[in-house]
Amino acid sequence: MSYPNQNPYGQQPGQQPNYGYPQQPINPYGGYPGGPVPGMQPQYPTVMPGSVKAARVLLFVLAGLNLIGLVLAVMGLGGVSRASHEATLDTAADNVTAMNVGKGLLIAVIVIIVIFTVGAIMLALQFANGGSGVRVGTIVFGVANIILSLCTFPIGLVHTVLGVLVLVFVAKDEGNAWFNRPRY
């Protein structure tokens, strides 16, 4: 028996089907095929990404909403204080203690609003030059804002949505790259 007809121009066993140089992986940094040029650092963003800008704007919006809430809380405290002074002329001691508890709660709410307003403004102002501490602080602020706004859910729905958006925008990879970039 003879062997099958051998084609002298066909593919020989053990050879690669493609001729020429083997394909090398594409290097996004240029230079050597196996990786970046030694001594060259990876590229970092030089302009604030859109999601980080959006988180910064949302922090300013939260601060503005907190200022509106602060004005309303101070007006409520004034009304409760006037009603408390008028109630002291009466002999109903239960009304006076209820008014004092109401004043205490309003003062606590005012203090919390002031803390969150100042925190939002300070974090938003640090976005341009801040490091990873600003990112972590913004994430903590977003979580605390969500928790407090869920305690006052029907009224705090806007704060809940804005807090979630701030948290998502800062926690993305773009935010990580922006806050971990080298600063000179």
pLDDT digits (tens, 9 = 90+) for 143-158: 999 999 988 888 889 9
Record the pTM. 0.69
The tens digit of pLDDT for each residue in 4-28 reads 666 666 656 665 555 555 555 555 5
Q: Tell me if 91 is assigned to some domain.
A: yes
Would residue 60 count as lying in a domain? yes
Burial class of residue 14 in the structure, from the number of CB atoms within 10 Å of its CB (0-12 exposed, 13-18 middle, 19+ buried): exposed
- Domain containing residue 116: 50-179
Asked if residue 82 belongs to a domain, the reply is yes
Does 21 reside within a domain?
A: no
> For residue 65, is it within any domain?
yes
Please count the structural domains in the chain: 1
pLDDT in tens, 158-167: 999 999 999 9
Is 102 a domain residue? Answer: yes
What token pair was written down for 168?
A: 């998502």
Residue 156 has a pLDDT of 85
Convert 67-118 into a string of H (helix), E (strand) and C (coil): HHHHHHHHHHHHHHHHHHHHHHHCCCHHHHHHHHHHHHHHHHHHHHHHHHHH
For residue 126, being part of any structural domain is answered with yes
Question: Does residue 4 sit within a domain?
Answer: no
